[in-house]
Every structure is written in C-alpha cells, then in structure tokens.
Structure 1
Amino acid sequence: MEPLYLDHCATTPIHPEVLSEMTRVYQEAFANPSSLHQAGRMAKQTLERARERIATRLDARPEDVLFTAGGTEANTLALFGALERFLRGPGEPSAPVHLISSELEHPSVQRGIEALAERGVEVTWLPVPANGVLQPEDVERALRPHTRLVSVMLANNEIGTIQPIADIAALCRARGVLLHTDAVQAVGKIPVSFRDLGVDLLTASAHKFYGPRGVGIVVARRQARLRPILHGGGQERGLRSGTENVAAIHGAAVALDKALDALPAEAIRLQRLRDAMAKAVMDRMPEVLWTAADAPKLPHVLHLCIPGVLGEAVLLELDQLGVCVSAGSACSAGSAEPSPVLRAMGVDERYVHGGLRISLGRGNTEADVARFAEALDTAVHRLVRM
C-alpha cells in the first residue's frame, strides 16, 4: 500500500506540469540572466516574466518582488535587511531599535530575531492567547517611539491559525512602523493580497504550493529600504546577489498560478476532509483535543493533542503503519522539548507533549479519512500498552 502523505505543511510534492515546465526552461533558457548576449537575454526575459506573474498573483508590483534560495533566507532578508540601516558596528553609538514579534513565529523568524537581539535590538515577544490568534490591540500596546519593525506571521505553520494582519498593518502604518508577515504557509492555501494586507514585507516559499524547493519570495515596498545580507554581483536590485535559478523561479510562477486557479474549490474540499478527519478521530478517541478548533485557520491543517503520549512517538508508530504526519514544525523536528507554540498558548500539561500536525493536500481523498483515524487509534493504543 502506498504511504499516506499528510505532511503538506512541511513540503508539497512538485506538480507534474511544474516539473515539465522547469525541464523545458533548464534546456531552453539555461544561460546566466546577467549575461548580455542573446542567450542571457532570453534567460532574463524568462526570469522577468516569472516575476511579473508572481507579482500579479500576489497583488504586488513586479519591482517589489525579490527571489532568494528559500523561505528561511527570505525571512532573514526581511528582518535583517529592514533593520540594518538602524544598526551600527561594534563600538559605535546607536539609537535604540525596538522590534515586536510573537511567540507563534516559525524558527527561521525566532532565531533571526534572537540574532538581532545579540546586536542590541530590543525585542518584545507578544504572548499568544489560548485560541492561537493575536489581538491587534496587544501589538498597539507594545509599540514604542523607537519601534522600527513588527514581524507577525500570516498563518501558523503548526496549528494553522490565521492572524489579523491587515488590522495590525493599519496600526503600524499609523505609527510609521514597518510590518513583516511570514506568509510561507498561507500563499497558495488562502487568498493573499499584498496590497490589501497593507504590509511592508511579505515572504513566501515555492515548495509549500507544489513548486520546487529552493525558491523563496520577498515582496518589499520601496519604503522598507532593504539592505542586502549577501554581497556579490548585485542581482535582484542589488538586494540578493547570486545567479538566479531561472528554471526554478519559472516553476514557482507556474505552481502559484495552478494553486490559485484551483484555490476556491480546493479550499472547500480540503476543509471538508479536515473536518471529517477530526470527527473520525474524536469518535474513536474522545479524549483527543483539536487545537484552536474555533479559531480562523488554514483549511487543510488539523492539529491534534493526544494526552498521555509523546507526539514524536505517535509519529514514529504512524510511520510504521505507512502514514506520514508531523509532530510540529519540520524545522524543529527531533527536539525532545514540547512545542513552544503549545506552551505559549497555555495548553494543559496533559496535552502539551502530544501534539500532532496533519496537513492535507491535493492528493488526499475521502478514503484517507478512515485510514488515518484507524491508524492513529492503533498507534496510540500500541503506545499505551507499551
């Protein structure tokens, strides 16, 4: 029996048509897009057409779209690039710089902010309510005269809750504070408009919406005044040096088109599957907790907390049964510590170690609902007996 893949928040399988298009471009537009000869110009045209397509689908300007080697680099460029002009070198006096973020953030944002704190940036970490959704007024109360940047994710990578980014953006804009949103888990899964959100910086990653790995996207307004974190040939408006992977960027544009064209119907379908899966599990195991059940969430994400067992142990048992899920963020897998997100939400101690993230995708069907519920029941009972 084929493995049942339920880990689409970690990565999605590349769409076959995307792979076909990338193969074509690797063969036809293989040249360096910075080269001035005919082959280079062809590659450059392919790159810029992809930039225009992605900008259109994200409701942004082509000149505001930058490409990196992935979501982590995109988040790092947004954070460090936005604050670099306010920071000084060792021994140099500098004005205070304040940054606000939340305890919900992805490790690539959290660790980046911790590195900024080592350079003297003052950081306020906003606590997370029990439903996993920040309140804009909490951001407003945390603002200071020297706040330069707020970074709040659009959709959480572990429990799937959606944050009120447009409301937070309005507060930041009124105070002249930049706002970055990590939209890696949101783009391709829910409608995302850079213009309507009102943020200054938005980041995304192609492999989350059936595109290739290795393509990160930064959408940055001019007023963000980004500075580069990599230095070299000055590609991407001088903000991200390095020869662009034209075929992969083209693949990202194709994948985004396909994901957004299918989005309205696919979101409804996945939400129905998710809700049916939650019911099937809790009919068998009523003690299981559906995390943030009543909060606004991504349609394809189901996060469960199982009392009395470790989420990593359940994951391994499910793997033996041919079911692929996650115990949390793939970027922090292997940690023996309970999920920081569940801790931040104040989840009861009986549940905080037993988190399990199920994330559905285009290949999942109704038949997978019963298969997963049965496998989870079997896995948990094995662990309880042990």
Structure 2
Amino acid sequence: MKVYLDNAATTRMDKEVFDAMLPYLRDEYGNPSSMHDLGQKARAAVEDARAKVAALINAKPAEIIFTSSGTEANNFAVKGAAYAGKRKGNHIIVSSIEHFSVLYSVRMLAKDGYEVTYLPVDKYGMVNPDDVTAAIKDKTVLISVMHANNEVGTIQPIAEIAKIAKSKGIPFHTDAVSTAGSIEADVEKMGVDTLTLAANQFYGPKGAAALYIRSKTRIVPLLHGGVQEEGRRAGTEDVASIVGMGAAAEIALKGMAKNSAYTTKLRDKLIDALKTKIPNIYLNGHAVDRIPGNINICVEFIEGESMLLFLNMEGISASSGSSCTSKALKASHVLTAMGVDAALANGSLLLSLGKNNTEEEIDYVIEKLPPIVERLRKMSPLYKKP
C-alpha cells in the first residue's frame, strides 16, 4: 500500500484543477498583456482566477497579487513593507517560529540597518499577544506572525494581534500558506494588512501563490520590470498556474468544512492510536488549536530520519519537519523555540494528512509505525526497555 502523509510539503493536484489548466499550457497561449484576442482570453482567465482566490479569503480581487511561490510572497510582504515604512522607522517584529522565507528576509534587512525583535512562543508554539504589545516601539514598521505553523500546526491568535497592530498604526502580515484553503482565513475577520497563500497547499499547482494586500497598504515591489499585477509584481504571468490556483481556490472554499471535519477525524484517530501503541512519544503543538491534518510527534531514543527511511520502505511518505529544511539534518528551529530538548527534537516525525487520505491508510500506518519504532529502539544505546 502507498500512503502519502506529507501534505504539509505539497498536496496532490485535483483532476478538475489539472483540466482547467490544460488549455493554457498549449492552445490558449496568449500573453495577458497583449491586446489581441489570444492575449485578452488569457487576461480574462487571470482575472477570473483572481476573483476566485479573493473569494477564498474574503478579499477584493484588486487586493490579490499573484506570485510564483509562498516564499516570494513572504519576501514581498516583509521587505516591501519594511522599505515602504523606512521614513517612519526601522524596527520589525516577527515570531521566532516563522517560515524561513520570513526569518531570512528579516535577517537580510538586519544587515541593511533594520532592528528585529523575535517573539518567543510557549511550549505549544503559541505567541502571546502581550509579548507583541511589549515589543512595539515608536519606530516599528511591520509585525509578521504566521496564521499557523507549518511544522507543529499551532494556530495563532491572529485577530487579537492584528488589533494590537492596528491600534498602533503598524502594518500586520500573516503567512497563511498552511491554512488558506484548509481552514477559514478571512482577511476581514482577522484584520490583517497582508496575507500569503500558496496553491500547492490546497490541491493546486506548484509555482502559483499570491499576496493579499489590503487596499491603501503601502508596499514597495520586490521585482522590477514590467507593469504586470498593477505594477506591483513584474514578469509575464504564468497563466496556466494562475488558472489552476483559481480552480483550486474555488474547490477548496466549497469543500472546506467537510474536508476539515474529515481530516480532523482521521488525525485524532491516528494520534490516539500512536499514543496507545508507542511509549515515550510526545505530541508537539497545541492539542486543539491546530491545523486539521497536522500530527507532529517526538519519539524518544531514535532519530526522525531513521523512521522516515523505514516508513518509506513500507510505502509511507512522511517528513521530519519543514520540507524547506529537511536536508539540514539539525533540530527544528520551531521545536527549539518551544523548548524541546535538542536530542528529543531530532526524533521528530511530521505526519500531515489531507482530504485524499482514507481510514484504511490510517489503519495501515497504525499497523506499521509501532514495529518500526520498536526495531529502531532496540538498536539505540540510549533505550532501555521497561
């Protein structure tokens, strides 16, 4: 049996999405900036997709700027807001568990003279809004806190943090790559100024993402060149991928409640079974306020990479953390920020479920993972069977 439990890395494209994209990969090949019929057909397709993506997060179509990835959108949001606010100040606030596309962006800005405050998190990976308030300075020009963490799944109190930012007149960005299309990410309810989302996280194509920019929010373009995307993101649009993102957004919005409930049910079944069958394992992240498909556990006395190899031999695809850092072979910065011991953090395993998983697949994982852990522990000099 083949079981895919790496949906946090990417999801399998829906057939309807693929079918929607196909004409724009060959027959409808016009450039959206061209005035002839082929160009205008492409333009209409892009604008239709923009409206569908906007509907997913309750935004206006004009507030959606298409990008090539969540990483690009995060870079755009962070650097663009920092440079736009340079006359006011040079202080930025981010959480210590952000995706590296945010953390490395502020690291680069620090080299350019910006001051960065990294917010701590509690043992569940949760940011305390009071820490946000305490970190604000007169020269703060941006606050960025992710909607939910891509590794441990903890959902942050974004609306509360946004109110704090708004009361101080500070632009607020949230990285919603892990949530948009999976759970509600309503920009009006949250009150954010910018928000990042990516199609491959809700069964759309890789290479298509977007940055929501609230009307009248000041931001400096990251890419310079043509006047695409209202002059905010230069470069010929990837029409097929954008169409795919629009189709995926429409499907995700219609099925969100059903898929979320279904995935949560499978997730909880797997968590309960693993806790029962495997001693000395620990669930990372908040037990309740977490992404529906996220299971991040630390298994004591063994390494995550070993588990992945054995799971792969059984046909089970999983991860030990963020796909963007999986080759780094070091403890997750997220788990470290949560206070997890480095040795224990090296035994982390991320099982991320999606709407295509079945109960039969979950039963198969429940059957296969405990013997793998037992076998690896027998080889570990640290483990002493009780």
**Are 2:88 and 2:141, in contact at CA under 8 Å, matched by a contact in 1?**
no
Paired with 1:95 and 1:146, the residues of 2 have a C-alpha distance of 6
Flag structure 1 segments of 5+ consecutive residues without an equivalent.
Answer: 88-93
SS across alignment from 1:237: helix
Any residues of structure 2 matched to 1:48-63 within 5 Å, and which?
Answer: 48-63=47-62
The yes-or-no answer on 1:314 pairing with 2:307 is yes
Gap regions ≥5 residues in structure 2: 380-386
Offset at residue 25 of structure 1 (A): 3.2
Match of 1:249 in 2: 242
Q: Residue in 2 aligned with 1:203?
A: 196
Alignment equivalent of 2:182, drawn from 186, 189, 197: 189
Q: 1:155 aligns with which of 140, 148, 155?
A: 148
The yes-or-no answer on 1:24 pairing with 2:23 is yes
SS at match of 1:351: helix
Match of 2:217 in 1: 224
- Pairwise CA distance, 1:349: 4.8
- AA of the residue aligned to 1:71: G
1:119 aligned residue: 112
1:133 and 1:295 in contact (8 A); partners too: no
- 2:31 corresponds to which letter in structure 1? N
Contact 1:29–1:46, Cα closer than 8 Å, also in 2: no
Matches within 5 A, 1:3-152: 3-87=2-86, 96-152=89-145
Displacement of 1:364 in angstroms is 0.8
Residue 331 of structure 2 corresponds to residue 345 of structure 1: no
Give the whole-Å Cα distance in 2 for the aligned partners of 1:230 and 1:213.
20
The normalised TM-score by structure 1 is 0.95
Distance 2:119 2:356 in 1: 37
Distance 1:86 1:57, change over 3 A: closer
Greater shift in the superposed pair: 349-358 or 250-259: 349-358
For 2:60 and 2:111, the matched residues in 1 are separated by 34
- The answer to whether the Cα contact below 8 Å between 2:202 and 2:249 also exists between their aligned partners in 1 is yes
SS in 1 for 2:179: coil
Give 1:62 deviation, angstroms.
1.0
Whole-angstrom CA distance in 2 between matches of 1:264 and 1:28: 36
Deviations 1:337-369 (A, max 9, x none): 111111101124552211111110122111122
Choose from 290, 294, 317 the match for 2:287.
294
Query: 1:288 touches 1:305 (CA, 8 Å); kept in 2?
Result: yes
Name the CA distance, whole Å, in 2 between partners of 1:262 and 1:52: 18
- Aligned 8 A contact 1:280 1:369 in 2: no
Deviation at 1:132, TM superposition (A): 1.2
Structure 1 Cα separation of the partners of residues 286 and 77 of structure 2: 31
Residue identity opposite 1:309 in structure 2: I
- In the alignment, what sits opposite 2:383? none
Which residue is equivalent to 1:303? Answer: 296
| Deviation string, structure 1 residues 32-57 (Cα, Å, up to 9, x no partner) | 00011121111111111111121122
Contact 2:320 2:350 (8 Å CA) reproduced: yes
- Across the two proteins, how many residue pairs are aligned to each other? 379
Summarize deviations over 1:138-168 as a string: whole Å, max 9, x none.
1011000000000000010000000010100
1:247-278 Cα shifts (integer Å, max 9, x gaps) = 21111111111112111111111111001001
Distance 1:293 1:160 in 2: 7
1:90 equivalent in structure 2: none
What is the alpha-carbon distance in structure 2 between the residues aligned to residue 262 and residue 245 of structure 1? 26
* Partner in structure 1 of residue 347 of structure 2: 354
Whole-angstrom distance in 1 between the partners of 2:245 and 2:324: 21
SS of match in other structure, 2:324: helix
CA displacement at 1:112 relative to structure 2:
1.0
Cα distance, 1:213–1:349 mapped onto 2, change above 3 Å? closer
Q: Which runs of 4+ in 1 moved over 4 A?
A: none
Q: 1:240 is matched with which residue: 220, 227, 233?
A: 233
Q: Distance in 1 between matches of 2:75 and 2:50?
A: 20
Q: Does 1:377 align with 2:370?
A: yes
- Give the distance between the partners of 1:38 and 1:380, measured in 2 at CA: 60
Q: Aligned-residue CA RMSD in angstroms?
A: 1.4
Q: Which amino acid aligns with 1:176?
A: G
- What are the within-5 Å matches in structure 2 for residues 274-293 of structure 1? 274-293=267-286
Contact 1:72–1:108 (8 Å) recurs in 2: yes
Partner Cα distance (1:85, 1:256) in 2: 30
What SS class does the counterpart of residue 115 from structure 1 fall into? helix
CA distance in 1, matches of 2:338, 2:37: 56
Equivalence for 1:326: 319
Residue 77 of structure 1 aligns with an amino acid whose one-letter code is F
| Partners of 1:233 and 1:293 in 2: CA distance | 44
Question: Retained in 2: the 8 A contact 1:280–1:370?
Answer: no
| CA distance in 2 between partners of 1:353 and 1:133 (Å) | 21
TM-score, normalised to structure 2, is 0.95
Q: Deviations over 1:215-274 (max 9, x none)?
A: 111000233211111111121111110000112111111111111211111111111100
Asked whether the equivalents of residues 89 and 141 of structure 2 are also in contact (C-alpha less than 8 Å), the reply is: no
Question: What is the rounded CA distance, in whole Å, between the counterparts of 1:35 and 1:291 in structure 2?
Answer: 51
Give the match's secondary structure for 1:240. coil
Q: Does 1:259 align with 2:252?
A: yes
Question: Residue 152 of structure 2 aligns to which amino acid in structure 1?
Answer: I
How far did 1:27 drift?
A: 3.9
